[in-house]
A = this chain, B = another copy of it.
Amino acid sequence: MSDPALDFWFDFASTYSYPATLRIRPLAQHAGVSIRFRPFLLGPIFKAQGWETSPFNLYEVKGRNMWRDLQRICADLSIPFQRPEPFPQNSLLGARVALVGLAQSWGEDFCEALYRSQFGERRRIDEPATVAAVLAALKVDAAPVLAAAHSDAIKSQLRRQTEAAQRLGIFGAPSFVTADGELFWGNDRLERALLWAKRGDDEGFCLSL
C-alpha cells in the first residue's frame, strides 16, 4: 500500500467544515495520514439538486438543529463560535485565495484562519478586507495574492476542482475521499475516514455494541 492519504473537500460557507478544518491536521498527524486540502464550491452542486440556497435555510427545523448542534460541538472542542450573519456567505474569494496559498506554504493556515474569522469572530468572508486581514495576520502580502486569486489560472482551477468534486459523488461538505475512492461525508466521519485511509477496507472497527 502507498502512504496513507486523504483528500479533504470543503467549502468556506459550510458550517460543519469549520470544526473539521480545525480538527483534521492534528488528527491526521496522529494517525500518520497525509491530507490534501481541496476547496470547492457547493453552490453549483446544490443548484444541480434544485436548491438555490443552503438546505439549512430551506428546511427551517433542520437549520435550527444544525446551529444548536454546531454550538455544542464547538463548546466540546473549546473553539469559539458565533453564528455568521448572513448565512451562507459567498465563498468564492476565499476558495480562490486558498488555492493560491495551497500552492505555497500558507494555504492550510489560511483555511483555518478564514474559518475562525467567519464562525468564531463573525467576520464576512465575502469582503476582501476580511481576507486581507487574515493574510496580514499570517504575514502574507495581500496585494499579489488577491491579484493571483483573480487570475484565469486560479479561476479555472477552482472550476475544475468543483467539477471533480461532483464527479466523485460529493454532495456536501466537509467530505473526505480516500485513495481508493471511499467517500465519507460530515465532520463526524473524519475519524472513520482517517482509519480507512490508513487500513483500507478491513474488518471494520469491530466495536462492541
Report which A residues bind B (CB closer than 8 A). Answer: 22-23, 26, 49, 59, 61-62, 64-65, 68-69, 72, 75-79, 169, 171-172, 183-186, 188-189, 192, 203-209
Closest to A196 in B: B72
Q: Are B209's CB and A26's CB within 8 A?
A: yes
Q: Are A79's CB and B204's CB within 8 A?
A: no
| Further 7 A-B residue pairs, CB within 8 A, beyond A61-B171, A76-B192, A78-B206 | A65-B171, A68-B183, A75-B203, A75-B204, A77-B209, A78-B207, A186-B188
Closest to A65 in B: B185
Complex Cα spacing A78 to B204, Å = 8
Contacts A77-B209, A192-B72, A209-B26 given; indicate if A61 touches B169 (C-beta within 8 A). yes
Q: Are A69's CB and B189's CB within 8 A?
A: yes
Q: What is the distance, in angstroms, from A68's C-beta to the closest C-beta of chain B?
A: 7
Complex Cα spacing A158 to B172, Å = 34
Complex Cα spacing A172 to B63, Å = 12
Complex Cα spacing A208 to B25, Å = 13
Contacts A69-B189, A72-B192 given; indicate if A79 touches B171 (C-beta within 8 A). no
